[in-house]
Structure 1
Amino acid sequence: MNFVLTISGFLIAFLVNLLFPQVAENVRIKEYVFGGFTVDDNLAYRLVLLAIIAYYAVYAVVLFVHKARADKVAKFFAGAKFRFAVGLALAAWDILGTKLLFLPQPFFPGPAIIMDAFIGDTKFIWQNTLYSLRLFVAGFSVGVVTGVLTGVLIGWYPKARYWILPVLNICGVIPAVAWMPFALTLFPTSFAAATFLIAICSWFPVATMTADGVQGTPKSLFELSRTFGAGQLYQIFHIAIPHAMPQIFTGVMTAAAFGFTTLVMAEMMGQPGGLGYYINTSKVWSAYYKVFAAIVVMAVLFSAILKVVGAVQRYVLRWQKGVVR
């Protein structure tokens, strides 16, 4: 039943696009030719829906064939109602945004119209996505590394805590975009300035959580290590930092969200590329279907980033498996 519910919503969206008549006459469905095959926006949208249905069907079969753990199966089927609701929402959006044009245009185009951006603007979207990813990785990496170093200093050395903690508390609460005028003045390129903005907003949560984790390490662990002759560096790298790892990754997850938000804002305020830049250029020409396409790419990209961070977290904290719920 849950499997049927999982795919039926997207199947309804597919049938609505295929069978519901196009009532509004002033909707332009573009056509493209690929290797002798003609593909229009509606066909591309239906192919995406079929791909989603096929993915969930194959995934369910794999779970069944490989006899996956009960918790993994339960987690997959727990989202069945939500997926069904998403399919119904897509069907309603298609009717209101394309078939009947009840939604204000061009601000809320239907999902089939949005597909035109992916078909006709594929190369440009791909270039801007890679630019955003490169910028995010640069700023986020710098922010996480400096955040961990700052947190260790604050959590381990009282003198460092005395001098650095007030600066962290003051600078950390200031929105990263507020530093934009200074960043553009101090750094030679707009890319370097945006990297600084992403780094500084990623730095604060990582540094704060790292310091809390280091400070929260039980003193008994340090006393025990000293009885075996462990020095200060050994205690930092083999006791304090490993103990703080759960808090560090909490800060990293928060930093990823802050960094991605700052990334988009920085791109919309002067970058020569990126998804934020793509939104700006599309908005100027009132091509709001391209704006929606960029939003979809952002959602997918950020989800992928969280998946990667989560995978690293699960590997580093694999000792928690079966201990932490």
Structure 2
Amino acid sequence: MSTVADHILPAPAAVAAAPAVTAARRTATAPAFWWTGLAAAVAWAALGLVTSLWPNKPVGFSDWAFTEEFALGSGAVALVLAVLAFVPGALGRAAPRVRKAGPWLVALALGFAVWEVFTAKLGTLPPPFFAPPQSLVEVYATDWARLLESAGASLRLLALGIAIGAAAGFVTGVLIGWSRQASYWIHPVLRILGPVPTTALLPVSFYFFPSSWSTAIFLIALGTAFPVAILTWSGVAGVHKNYYDVARTMGASPWFLVLRVAIPAALPQVFVGLFMGLGAAFSTLVVAEMLGVKAGLGWYLTWAQGWAAYPNMYAALIVMALLFSGVITLLFVLRDRVLSWQKGVVKW
């Protein structure tokens, strides 16, 4: 016959099994050994050894600078990866992201090794068109100020052009999607001028604008505005009429229908237009800086090519790729925040 104590106090078997269950849970939640990280550490260590122990093939009367520094950097990366592999808990909350990047860390080390062997060690790829990885280290160490100034100039130009183009394209798209009269007059213009590359308008734009800076801003804004306008128009025009009917029955005004019904429903399409416009803005930015603007990464590329400084050119291309990728990542973050209320409804 059971008593109250039997229901309150745990049974002896349950008490004995509790530590085993707790230990099992800890084992299940404890991070496993990071084998991919160990492979990445070995790959980076091999890269450092190849770079340091294999003599460089002389180029002219000089050798490649920063070879030892590049080897030491590779060894440092290998040491960090080895520590993270043997101490998985050191990763903390960043463990999933770092572990996910493990195969890329291995591939990156192998790619650098192939690059190093065929340029600095064997000279198969002819200089100065092809330079080893340590030449990029030399550029970043000696010419970082000019690269930073050029990246800042490109960011300012890009931010102004995209902001103006996105605002103009958004307003134009809403007008076309909402007003039949505006669609009658504006839609044919978009159909004719939209497919024309913005860089083709560069000579004409130099005539109408007082400086190459303002010309570049106009062309970047134009390249951004067209896809934003088209996708915004498509989003506003595609809103189901039942949404408008429900809002009207509740006494909604035309402004309410536009601001609180049409625009929120069209926001996913607006962001698609922004992503498309960024590609046109990047290409227009580089062409404008190469042909007219006296600052920026495009100008830096032209300057490096003119002096046959191909390592500087490759270094600028890497900075450009990271910069543009960062802008797209920021737009993804902005999209997720703005459209958080549509999570589960809109699939990307």
TM bracket (short chain): 0.7 to 0.9
The CA distance in 2 between the partners of 1:57 and 1:180, in whole Å, is: 54
Secondary structure at 2:291 match in 1: coil
Q: Which of 128, 149, 160 is the equivalent residue of 1:127?
A: 149
What is the alpha-carbon distance in structure 2 between the residues aligned to residue 250 and residue 55 of structure 1?
Answer: 38
The corresponding residue for 1:242 is 264
- Residues 160-187 of structure 1 show CA distances to partners (whole Å, capped at 9, x for unaligned) of 1111111112111111111111111111
Q: Give the distance between the partners of 1:191 and 1:67, measured in 2 at CA.
A: 42
Q: In the TM superposition, what is the alpha-carbon distance from 1:96 to its structure 2 partner?
A: 1.0
For 1:255 and 1:28, how far apart are their aligned partners in 2? 44
The Cα shift of 1:24 comes to: 3.5
**2:338 match:** 316
C-alpha deviation, 1:76, in angstroms: 5.5
- The separation in 1 between residues aligned to 2:310 and 2:155, in whole angstroms, is 23
**What's the TM-score, normalizing by structure 2?**
0.82
Q: Check 1:274–1:21 CA distance in 2 against 1; reply closer, same or farther (3 A cut).
A: same
Residue 107 of structure 1 aligns to a residue in which SS?
coil
Q: Distance in 1 between matches of 2:71 and 2:186?
A: 53
Kept after mapping to 2: 8 A contact 1:7/1:57: no
In structure 2, what is the Cα distance between the partners aligned to 1:5 and 1:189?
Answer: 54
Contact 2:52–2:67 (CA<8 Å) still a contact in 1? no
| Equivalent residues of 2:177, 2:237 under 8 A apart | yes
* Cross-structure match for 2:274: 252
Match of 2:299 in 1: 277
> 1:183, 1:193 within 8 Å by CA — same for their partners in 2?
yes
Please name the residue that 1:43 is paired with.
69
Taking structure 1 as reference, are residues 55 and 8 closer, same or farther at Cα in structure 2, changes over 3 Å only? closer
Query: 1:100-134 CA distances to partner (integer Å, 9 max, x unpaired)?
Result: 21102111111111222111111111111111111
Q: Distance in 2 between matches of 1:143 and 1:267?
A: 18
Report the equivalent of 2:221: 199
Q: Deviations over 1:228-259 (max 9, x none)?
A: 11111111111111111111111111111210
Match of 1:290 among 299, 304, 312: 312
Partners of 1:56 and 1:140 in 2: CA distance: 43
Which residue of structure 1 aligns with residue 64 of structure 2?
29
User: Greater RCO between the two (CA within 8 Å, min separation 6)?
Assistant: 1
Q: Is the 8 A contact 1:6 1:84 kept in 2?
A: yes
Q: Secondary structure at the match of 1:137?
A: helix
Paired residue secondary structure (1:148): helix
Which aligned pairs between 1:1-325 and structure 2 lie closer than 5 A?
1-24=35-58, 26=60, 27-30=62-65, 40=66, 42-44=68-70, 46-47=72-73, 50=76, 54=80, 65-66=92-93, 73=96, 77-323=99-345, 324=347
Rg: which structure is higher?
2
How far apart are 1:86 and its partner, in Å?
2.3
TM superposition score normalised by structure 1: 0.87
Q: What residue is the counterpart of 1:34 in the other structure?
A: none
CA distance in 1, matches of 2:51, 2:182: 62
CA distance in structure 2 between the partners assigned to 1:45 and 1:142 by the alignment: 46
Paired AA for residue 248 in structure 2: R
Q: CA RMSD in A?
A: 2.6
Deviation at 1:49, TM superposition (A): 7.5
- Output the CA distance in 1 between the equivalents of 2:36 and 2:90: 14
After TM superposition, the structure 1 stretch with the greater mean CA deviation from structure 2, 82-91 or 257-266, is: 82-91
CA distance in 1, matches of 2:113, 2:231: 43
Unmatched tracts of structure 1, length 5 or more: 31-39
Greater CA drift, 266-275 or 56-65 = 56-65
Query: How many residue pairs were aligned?
Result: 311
- 1:86–1:153 distance in 2 versus 1, CA, 3 Å: same
1:102 maps to a residue whose letter is T
Preserved CA contact (<8 Å) 1:201 1:258? yes
Unaligned runs of 5+ in 2: 1-34
Q: Is the 8 A contact 1:150 1:207 kept in 2?
A: yes
Contact 2:150 2:295 survives alignment (8 Å): yes
Distance, in Å, in 1 between the alignment partners of 2:91 and 2:68 is 33
